[in-house]
Amino acid sequence: MGLHEQQGPHERYGLTRLINARGPFTPAGVSRSDERVGRAVAEALAGFFVMEELHELADRTLARATGAEAGTVVHCTSSAITLSVAAAMTGESTARIAALPDTGGLPARVVLPAGHAVDYGHPLVQDIRLAGATPVLSGTDSACTLDELEKDLAHPGTACLVLVSSRLTRGARVPLAEAVAAAHRRGVPAVIDGAAQDFRIGELLGTGADLVLVSGQKYLGGPTAGLVLGRAEAVRAVRAQGRGIGRAMKASKESIVGTLAALEARQDLDVSAWARRQEEKVARFSARAAALPGLTAHPVPDPAGLPFPRAALHVDVARAGLDARALADALSSGDPRIWVYTDRQYEGELTLELVPLTDEETEAVLRRTAEVLAEHAPGGLGDRAGQHT
Ligand SMILES: *Cc1c(COP(=O)(O)O)cnc(C)c1O
């Protein structure tokens, strides 16, 4: 292999090197695809396809792989939310599909628990509004009862219920199956955004939701794609949006072929053996991090039920000489940058997801953390006050 082939885009264009311990984070490029996916994408890019045939192959494969009645691929999960809402309003009516985002005469209220109106880089309610619909927040940020939900669902002109399964939701947990049942009692279809929940597709379909939406590029490790799974009629109505607003949200040939390869890789994966490896990796990392001065560390389970833990680091300011926020800042300003979950930094906690990290990368994270702690240790080299005593 020549020098040129060995150079990746980081070297070629002088791009910032990044260790991503923050999960399938879109500003970090989301995930790593394996070689099988990379090869499939490259092959797809080099060829022509009867796109209708490719779509139908993907639809059949998705249904078979997930146990859903039907499935289809769109550009991403964000667009899958917009297109599911559109489908709930128009069905397969050509005239209604062509009229969107004008929803005159259509049911256009979309109910969701207030705590499910998450911001994953933009507000989820904007995905709803993009179809021409009007989001209706049920309950409050801290709680939404089934009674509150049912009252909002009973309103005439309600197109669908949207629920979110994610670590980002706020407030008391809304039981998904019960919420879906409440919608169905009112004759309203239910959609679950489970973008990062590809390991839990069976469980989410088991709630009885009409549509379950997951990202092809998060833990599945495919190219950017939105997988739409669920009842055949609802999935057909999503696919039909391709003749309307869905044109701007289409799946490309390479994303479809790459998604097929990622699904095959997932089917070949022994998930429980994989989960055990993740546990070992996080346990080893936590033990070594806990040995650093000023830190305690332990594995924490995923709040939504994904089958792997993360490592939580607690920073003891008195012993470390800096707080969690300053540690996160220091990690993200080195070379390579190291990004961690900072949503609990003001409670003194940083969380690291190790799933895609190589051994070299976890070593680099430990090494850099130790360096930052050594620079700030009270009485240590970097501590001015300490030098004067
Ligand atoms: C990532 C995410 C999305 C958006 O997924 P894309 O495939 O990037 O469009 C939607 N909802 C939630 C909860 C997410 O975490």
* Protein residue whose Cα sits closest to atom 6 of ligand 1: 77
Residue where a domain terminates, one of 268, 301, 329? 268
The answer to whether 76 and 215 are in contact (CB under 8 A) is: yes
Same domain? 88 vs 187: yes
What's the CATH code of the domain at 188? 3.40.640.10
Q: Which atom of ligand 1 is nearest to the CA of 78?
A: 9
Q: Which parts of the chain fold into alpha helices (H)?
A: 3-6, 9-13, 35-45, 51-66, 77-90, 94-99, 124-130, 146-154, 176-185, 201-205, 232-240, 253-268, 271-290, 317-320, 324-331, 359-376, 384-388
What's the CATH code of the domain at 357? 3.90.1150.180
Please list the pLDDT of the chain residue by residue as tens digits (389 residues). Answer: 444 456 899 999 999 999 999 999 999 999 999 999 999 999 999 999 999 999 999 999 999 999 999 999 999 999 999 999 999 999 999 999 999 999 999 999 999 999 999 999 999 999 999 999 999 999 999 999 999 999 999 999 999 999 999 999 999 999 999 999 999 999 999 999 999 999 999 999 999 999 999 999 999 999 999 999 999 999 999 999 999 999 999 999 999 999 999 999 999 999 999 999 999 999 999 999 999 999 999 999 999 999 999 999 999 999 999 999 999 999 999 999 999 999 999 999 999 999 999 999 999 999 999 999 999 988 755 555 444 44
Residue where a domain terminates, one of 219, 236, 268? 268
Same domain? 91 vs 171: yes
Question: For a substitution probing ligand 1, which of 25, 193, 219, 353 has the most ligand atoms within 8 Å of its CB?
Answer: 193
Same domain? 296 vs 260: no
Distance from residue 6's CA to the centre of ligand 1 (Å): 32
Q: Which atom of ligand 1 is nearest to the CA of 76?
A: 7
Same domain? 115 vs 105: yes
Total domains in the chain come to 2
Q: Which atom of ligand 1 is nearest to the CA of 165?
A: 13
- Cβ–ligand 1 distance for 120 under 6 Å, the answer yes
Residue where a domain terminates, one of 233, 268, 303? 268
Q: How far apart are CA 260 and CA 120, in angstroms?
A: 26
Task: Please give the residue range of the domain that contains residue 357.
Answer: 3-27+270-387
Q: Which atom of ligand 1 is nearest to the CA of 127?
A: 10
Same domain? 288 vs 235: no
* Protein residue whose Cα sits closest to atom 1 of ligand 1: 195
Same domain? 19 vs 102: no
8, 13, 16, 20 alpha-carbon torsion, rounded to 10°: -30
150-158 contacts: CB < 8 A, separation 24 or more?
150/182, 150/185, 150/186, 152/111, 153/111, 153/182, 153/183, 153/186, 153/188, 154/186, 155/109, 156/107, 157/107, 157/108, 157/109, 158/107, 158/109, 158/110, 158/111, 158/186, 158/188
Same domain? 40 vs 51: yes
A 10 A CB-CB count for 178 gives: 13
Distance from residue 3's CA to the centre of ligand 1 (Å): 37
Same domain? 56 vs 131: yes
